[in-house]
Amino acid sequence: PLRFKHSERSVVFADLTRDEYVQVQEYMLKQKDLHISTSQLSKPSENFLFLIDLSLPKKAEVLAYLDKNGAPPRREATVVVFYGAKGYIKEYVVGPLPDPTDHRDVTMERYKKSELPITARTVTIGEYALLFQFFETEVMYKLGTLLKESFNVDKDKSLDMFEQMPRGLQSGDRKTWVSFFRDMSGLYIHPVGFEVLVNHKSLNASEWTVEGVYYNGRYFESVEQLKHQYDAGAVDKIRYKESPDYGSLKVRTKPLQTGPQLFYAQGKRYSVSKNHVVYLDWSFAFGLSSLTGMRVFDVKFRDERIIYELSVQEAMSVYGSVTPGMMLTKFLDSSIGIGRFAHELVRGVDCPHEATFVDTYRYIDAPAPIRFRNSICIFEHNMGQPLRRHFADFFHNSFGGMVNSALVFRTITAIGNYDYMWDFIFYQTGAVEAKVHATGYISSSYMVKDAQKHGHQVADKVLGNIHTHFINFKVDLDVQGVKNYFQTKDMNFVNVSVPWKPDRYAMVPQLVENQVKTEKDAALRYNSKIPRYLHIASNKTNRWGHQRSYRLQVYSFAGDHLPESEAEEAAMSWARYKVAITKHKDLEQTSSSLYSQNNMWEPAVDFSKYIEDNENIENEDLVAWVTAGFLHIPHAEDIPNTVTVGNGGGVLLRPHNYFDEDPSIHSADAVYFSPG
Amino acid sequence: PLRFKHSERSVVFADLTRDEYVQVQEYMLKQKDLHISTSQLSKPSENFLFLIDLSLPKKAEVLAYLDKNGAPPRREATVVVFYGAKGYIKEYVVGPLPDPTDHRDVTMERYKKSELPITARTVTIGEYALLFQFFETEVMYKLGTLLKESFNVDKDKSLDMFEQMPRGLQSGDRKTWVSFFRDMSGLYIHPVGFEVLVNHKSLNASEWTVEGVYYNGRYFESVEQLKHQYDAGAVDKIRYKESPDYGSLKVRTKPLQTGPQLFYAQGKRYSVSKNHVVYLDWSFAFGLSSLTGMRVFDVKFRDERIIYELSVQEAMSVYGSVTPGMMLTKFLDSSIGIGRFAHELVRGVDCPHEATFVDTYRYIDAPAPIRFRNSICIFEHNMGQPLRRHFADFFHNSFGGMVNSALVFRTITAIGNYDYMWDFIFYQTGAVEAKVHATGYISSSYMVKDAQKHGHQVADKVLGNIHTHFINFKVDLDVQGVKNYFQTKDMNFVNVSVPWKPDRYAMVPQLVENQVKTEKDAALRYNSKIPRYLHIASNKTNRWGHQRSYRLQVYSFAGDHLPESEAEEAAMSWARYKVAITKHKDLEQTSSSLYSQNNMWEPAVDFSKYIEDNENIENEDLVAWVTAGFLHIPHAEDIPNTVTVGNGGGVLLRPHNYFDEDPSIHSADAVYFSPG
Ligand SMILES: [Ca+2]
Ligand SMILES: [Ca+2]
Ligand SMILES: [Ca+2]
Ligand SMILES: [Ca+2]
Ligand SMILES: [Cu+2]
Ligand SMILES: [Cu+2]
């Protein structure tokens, strides 16, 4: 028996359907003047339809539709075309859906530039195919002897490649260090000590060049130079040695006895219909952006909207190494696509057996929309602890309490080596949690001189490199409407005279409250003293006269952020701030962008610019951008996989004087008894 | 099928049995020269046997017994006698058990004083009985009219009392502000605005006096003065008004549908025998001290000891208020007894239905040992997430992972208003977590002028007062033996020349490692910059040449610690430090003491003294003292009960180069598949 009904209107937030993707693709192909290709092996020199994704409707239109019976907003798609033939990138909005009839170039509107440089594009499967060919002919073919002696490469056995980013040192560069790994499971922890710098800036692959080679700790200007010196015996050779399969995840122990399982004795207490979930007092819409990943909208508790949008924005890592590939590595996953890699979730491992699984469809770097089976899971979990309880043995002998059962909304995105587990959790107290945990393989490098300045050895000749993880969430709370305030609360000790002994003084804790007026004051840097309580508040008050608010409680073990002196920092400026509050704008939809990774020096979106105009944030629609993360100093126990325990961060959104009392007191899970 | 056998030797850590308590009690009563009473209503002027508890054997003797087939250590009890007739407190060790034959005064050895001041004693049930009588005759009886008019008190209806601590302003004081509350469930959130200061220092209750009265925001020197002015109409009266039962935990909604439950399809994978637990690769002994609470010893993973002792030490809170009782309140729970209040756990709320429950026996402020049924629970929990997983779609298409099932060891202690949930969690990765969550009722005060400087209103005329929670854990890791080092690791950015473009510089993360030499350098203050990784390390190395270590990862939202300028701070000096490392000493068993609360100004144990001798901590037996906590600014949702979500802290003990690879790779829970 559900307490609230599903909302048909939640489809305004729904990802495009398979049919809609096809309709948009067909519409674009009909625009003959654009000369667009959708072949997966399109060359860089062609105009490639890279991405189709939902274009989120304007918030005001959505709210009018949801709350005031307004017209449904026009349903539209964002289309990204890599114009190889013209040397730039453009974004379009295509609509209305279904059956689109028009398109509009939104590049200027969204990025303040009429076009984006083609070098900023994501490497497509088409370009990868050419890169593999290039390596085959320009590197592997020329180094047969070395590859055989050092790595046992022959016609049956090859090396795997893993590339590092950014691709160069300045805007316009597209020079990538490619590192080679043994072709074994968990290749990322099997580096061999061989790396190649390829300049693939030209849209004509025949103009690509090798600009440097790294072998066993030494740099060479070209493949030929390495070959020549190697053949001349002037190079300290890596001698092939068979390597144990330590990256394997194969089961090494027979199952003995299954562990504890979850079951719903009386069925599910939540319901999923289309992209809408109803669970006890909660309801929300959901979606999965190919770029930024999972998100929920219109999150309501007891039919009151609390959150307009809660979404993953970016996952970033900065590495340290003495090896060339990883020395400058700074990954920005949304440029490859976070949601893109939300693959099938495994029952009993990724989510409990009883979970509800949802398929998603995506169109990114593909000739047609692709269905990802069971890529979202939703389940109610028994957290194994009381949500609240009290046992009274003084005066009133009684017990009251309830177990903590909460709804989990989850995707796991396996982007290359790492798997990020993303959870949004809905508690019966009215709290929502957004968190991430990392697992999967670490990135590693071949052990050379001074390598251990940057990490610990984790296998034979393998260094686990020190790196940071920074994750950004967008939290658009709407507390009793969109007009909100950002307030902080904390304590300080004040010296007061003791009233019944006035010559005595004592330090007594007081409450310190502050309302923050501007975006700059509300951008709370990680290396500054941050008030302990951060609130998005309404000027509406609860029964006791306090402003109704939600508190943001961030938990994070973040390392140091890249110094702002580095040009690449512009592409990750959101990570300066544990929490930053901005005035909501439809055009400030994301803190990062598809184009950030490959043009870090002049990124299409520099989050710090959202703050630079230092707008007033009193009685405005506010958005909180929250950064959590952790410093990762890899250790032997990261082999074969990093474990989730302790490797995560997130934010808890908790009602604070939002209600008049704890709403869980009305839960049907409550238990009470007293003697007699 | 258990992987490891139960250890019979774990009984060296076992709490006293019911018989042993009785034997010790009988032995003490036989010492006629001591004139000891065990009557629960013993008067303060009598010699009262307050406590019998296990006296932990010396670590060296235990290790010789466990590891080297040494003789079993002598089994002994600690006995605390409040010598009211003599005006001091003494501690004895009585042994051997069973059938003790001797006793030894250990007061000097343990506290560097031949006796402790009698004013430092915990208020016993005997003293409470006298206090209730005193209030009846000296306060209630005299204020009949006021109490009736203000609080509707008559022969059928009384007020409840809740006392504040410390009891006075300097050593030797025993002056307690007692606050009055409506006699309703959740009395702590029903303050009425009436408080009385009683001086009960004299061991003769007939000499007790009222030293002050507080009514509706005003101070009076005596009950008589209040009565006189009240009758004369010179006092702003509180008018009785019936109050809603907002503190009730009674169920307000009919159960609809039960939530998710845990079940063991193939039985339990752990076993509990006496005080010993075996679970997959883990084994440990456990106990429950009446004073400090739960603890585990001899924690082994794959038969290697990792932790000698992991124990709760203290729970402290500092409050702010304008009302006299709470203005100076600083609670130190171990002086009342944390373990003492580990009551029965409720199946399905406090612990899953399937959990194993263990009874405990205690002898504290009682005429005989008392059995506490089901006061510890032990269960394996499905954490609802993967412990690790990786999905490979590049090069090698496969999935490997395992669900996170872990063993939870739990007690919940309801000390007056608050319930602390204590968890020790044992993961299949070799990690152990110690954490605490708070629930139960907040402490509150009557709303008077300026009250909101110290908190928020949470009910009619009720202020939820700002306060801190600080929790201390003792973590005696023994990493490959007792000789260990304390090491820190962190990152910094270093400007390096880019090897393939030497005129370019870039900031690259490096690993910063440090070995800490002395106790003072290893006392890491909360308000200082603390390295991100803290390790207890052995000089034994793992396969890759790194020192085997366990990392302490503390998570905490602690408020500000009481300034050291305050005399009371000496009793809670452990809370200065997020982590402090000391050289292990049998005589530095606890960071706090039974005698701290009632003599905060000259506490029997001042933790900072453990550090003051600044011993060398290299290649020594090290103990980590970990403080976690949170700042609590109460809000409407704390009514009726604080919820556990977000209100906690703890420490994760994680292997870091301790193993050669993640031990969970050998778990029978692992899952793997690849296509075809
Ligand atoms: Ca702005
Ligand atoms: Ca908002
Ligand atoms: Ca010392
Ligand atoms: Ca130790
Ligand atoms: Cu990592
Ligand atoms: Cu609290």
- Tens digits of per-residue pLDDT, B222-253? 999 999 999 999 999 999 999 999 999 999 88
Q: How far is A150 from chain B (nearest CA, A)?
A: 21
- Tens digits of per-residue pLDDT, B49-107? 999 999 999 999 999 999 999 999 999 999 999 999 999 999 999 999 999 999 999 99
What's the pLDDT score for residue B256? 77
- Per the CB < 8 A criterion, the answer to whether A28 and A79 are in contact is yes
- Give the separation between CA B457 and CA B277, rounded to whole angstroms: 46
- Give the separation between CA A201 and CA A130, rounded to whole angstroms: 13
Of B219, B500, B646, the CB nearest to A431: B646
The verdict on a CB contact (< 8 Å) between A257 and B251 is no
Contact of B449 with chain A, judged by CB distance below 8 Å, is answered with no
Say how many Å lie between the CA of residue A588 and the centre of ligand 1.
9
Q: How far is A54 from chain B (nearest CA, A)?
A: 25
Q: Which ligand is nearest to the CA of A443?
A: 5
Q: Does B676 have pLDDT greater than 60? A: no
Q: Which of B486, B324, B357, B349 is nearest to B421 (CA)?
A: B349
Catalytically active residues of A are 333, 418
Q: What are phi and psi of A453, to 5 degrees?
A: -65, -20
The verdict on a CB contact (< 8 Å) between B661 and A489 is no
A564-587: b or e for each residue (b if 16 or more CB lie within 10 Å)? eebebbbbbbbbbbbbbbbbbeee
Residues with CB under 5 A from ligand 1 (ion): A 610, 613, 615
What's the pLDDT score for residue A526? 94
DSSP strands (E only) in A393-417: 398-415
Residue B210 — very low, low, confident or very high, per pLDDT cuts 50/70/90? very high
Of B381, B439, B457, the CB nearest to A546: B457
User: For the residues B327-339, what does the mean pLDDT come to?
Assistant: 97
Strand partners, B422: B411, B436
Burial of A18 (C-beta count, 10 Å sphere; 0-12/13-18/19+)? middle
User: For the residues B206-231, what does the mean pLDDT come to?
Assistant: 97
Say how many Å lie between the CA of residue A188 and the centre of ligand 5.
12
- Give the separation between CA A248 and CA A70, rounded to whole angstroms: 56
Q: Which of A557, A558, A539 is nearest to A548 (CA)?
A: A539
Q: Which of A391, A427, A454, A546 to mutate to test the interface with B (most CBs of B within 10 A)?
A: A391
Say how many Å lie between the CA of residue B284 and the centre of ligand 4.
16
Mode of pairing for the β-strands spanning B36-37 and B47-55: parallel
Say how many Å lie between the CA of residue B586 and the centre of ligand 4.
11
Of A389, A429, A644, the CB nearest to B350: A389
Residues with CB under 5 A from ligand 6 (ion): B 632
DSSP state of B605: -
User: For the residues B188-203, what does the mean pLDDT come to?
Assistant: 98
Say how many Å lie between the CA of residue A189 and the centre of ligand 5.
13
Q: Which of B422, B470, B438 is nearest to B578 (CA)?
A: B470
Say how many Å lie between the CA of residue B264 and the centre of ligand 3.
47
Of B185, B441, B532, the CB nearest to A631: B532
Q: How far is A266 from chain B (nearest CA, A)?
A: 6
Helix A223-231 and helix A144-151, axial crossing angle in degrees, nearest 10? 70
Distances (CA, A) of A430 to A202, A305, A306, A425: 54, 11, 9, 10
Contact of B163 with chain A, judged by CB distance below 8 Å, is answered with no
Say how many Å lie between the CA of residue A616 and the centre of ligand 1.
8
- Per the CB < 8 A criterion, the answer to whether A411 and A376 are in contact is yes
Q: CA angle, B7 as apex, B3 and B8 as ends, to 5°?
A: 150
Contact of B340 with chain A, judged by CB distance below 8 Å, is answered with no
Contact of B467 with chain A, judged by CB distance below 8 Å, is answered with yes
Q: Which of A427, A501, A544, A656 to mutate to test the interface with B (most CBs of B within 10 A)?
A: A544
- Tens digits of per-residue pLDDT, A436-470? 999 999 999 999 999 999 999 999 999 999 999 99
Provide the terminal-to-terminal Cα distance of chain B, rounded to the nearest Å.
33
Of B348, B382, B455, the CB nearest to A262: B382
Write the CB contacts of A156 (distance below 8 Å, at least 6 apart in sequence): none
Catalytically active residues of B are 333, 418
- Give the separation between CA B632 and CA B558, rounded to whole angstroms: 9
DSSP state of A480: T
The verdict on a CB contact (< 8 Å) between B390 and A419 is yes
Contact of A96 with chain B, judged by CB distance below 8 Å, is answered with no
Q: Does B395 have pLDDT greater than 60? A: no
| Residue B289, token pair as written in the block | 């001290």
- Residues of A whose CB is below 8 A from B532: 557, 559, 631
- Residues of A whose CB is below 8 A from B655: 635, 637
What's the pLDDT score for residue A253? 86
- Per the CB < 8 A criterion, the answer to whether B28 and B49 are in contact is yes
- Give the separation between CA A469 and CA A561, rounded to whole angstroms: 10
Helix B223-231 and helix B144-151, axial crossing angle in degrees, nearest 10? 70
- Tens digits of per-residue pLDDT, B586-636? 999 999 999 999 999 999 999 999 999 999 999 999 999 999 999 999 999
| Amino acid symbol at B602 | E
Q: CA angle, A492 as apex, A490 and A493 as ends, to 5°?
A: 155
Q: Does A614 have pLDDT greater than 70? A: yes
Q: What are phi and psi of B13, to 5 degrees?
A: -100, 0
Helix (H, G, I), strand (E, B) or coil at A262: strand
User: For the residues A116-126, what does the mean pLDDT come to?
Assistant: 98
Helix (H, G, I), strand (E, B) or coil at B25: helix
What's the pLDDT score for residue A176? 98
Mode of pairing for the β-strands spanning B209-215 and B191-199: antiparallel
The verdict on a CB contact (< 8 Å) between A468 and B456 is no
Residue A577 — very low, low, confident or very high, per pLDDT cuts 50/70/90? very high
What's the pLDDT score for residue A676? 54
Q: Which ligand is nearest to the CA of B477?
A: 4
The verdict on a CB contact (< 8 Å) between B387 and A1 is no
The verdict on a CB contact (< 8 Å) between B668 and A253 is yes
Mode of pairing for the β-strands spanning B330-332 and B175-182: unpaired
Q: What proportions of chain A, in percent to the nearest 5, are helix, strand and coil? A: 20, 45, 40
- Chain centre to alpha carbon of residue B352: 23
Task: Give residues 622 to 641 of B whose Cβ lies within 8 Å of A.
Answer: 631, 633, 635-641
Task: Give residues 272 to 331 of A whose Cβ lies within 8 Å of B.
Answer: 318-321, 324, 327-328
- Give the separation between CA A87 and CA A277, rounded to whole angstroms: 44
Is the ipTM reported for this complex over the cut 0.90? Answer: yes
Q: Does A3 have pLDDT greater than 90? A: no
What's the pLDDT score for residue A299? 98
Say how many Å lie between the CA of residue A617 and the centre of ligand 1.
9
Query: Mean pLDDT in chain B?
Result: 96
Contact of B365 with chain A, judged by CB distance below 8 Å, is answered with no
Of B379, B401, B661, the CB nearest to A637: B661
Of A152-156, A393-397, A409-413, A435-439, give the lowest mean pLDDT range: A393-397
- Tens digits of per-residue pLDDT, B157-194? 999 999 999 999 999 999 999 999 999 999 999 999 99
- Residues of A whose CB is below 8 A from B488: none
- Tens digits of per-residue pLDDT, A530-541? 999 999 999 999
Q: Which of A382, A401, A427 is nearest to B641 (CA)?
A: A401
Query: Mean pLDDT in chain A?
Result: 96
Q: Does B221 have pLDDT greater than 60? A: yes
Q: How far is B451 from chain A (nearest CA, A)?
A: 10
Helix (H, G, I), strand (E, B) or coil at A96: coil
Q: Does A483 have pLDDT greater than 90? A: yes
Say how many Å lie between the CA of residue B303 and the centre of ligand 2.
54
Distances (CA, A) of A184 to A438, B395, B531: 22, 9, 36
The verdict on a CB contact (< 8 Å) between B557 and A553 is yes
Q: Which of B627, B626, B628 is nearest to B556 (CA)?
A: B628
Helix (H, G, I), strand (E, B) or coil at A141: helix
Distances (CA, A) of A182 to A5, A244, A639: 54, 11, 16
| Residue B621, token pair as written in the block | 């037996």
Provide the terminal-to-terminal Cα distance of chain A, rounded to the nearest Å.
33
Q: Which ligand is nearest to the CA of A622?
A: 2
The verdict on a CB contact (< 8 Å) between B414 and A265 is no
DSSP state of A16: P
Residue B512 — very low, low, confident or very high, per pLDDT cuts 50/70/90? very high
Say how many Å lie between the CA of residue B522 and the centre of ligand 3.
11
User: For the residues B648-659, what does the mean pLDDT come to?
Assistant: 98
Taking the model in full, what pTM does it have?
Answer: 0.98
Q: Does A256 have pLDDT greater than 90? A: no
Q: How many CB atoms lie within 10 A of CB B344?
A: 16
Q: Which of A349, A378, A421, A639 to mutate to test the interface with B (most CBs of B within 10 A)?
A: A349
Torsion angle (degrees, nearest 10) of CA B601, B604, B605, B608: 40
Distances (CA, A) of B136 to A86, B133, B144, B145, B195: 93, 5, 11, 14, 14
Q: Does A44 have pLDDT greater than 70? A: yes
Q: How many CB atoms lie within 10 A of CB A108?
A: 12
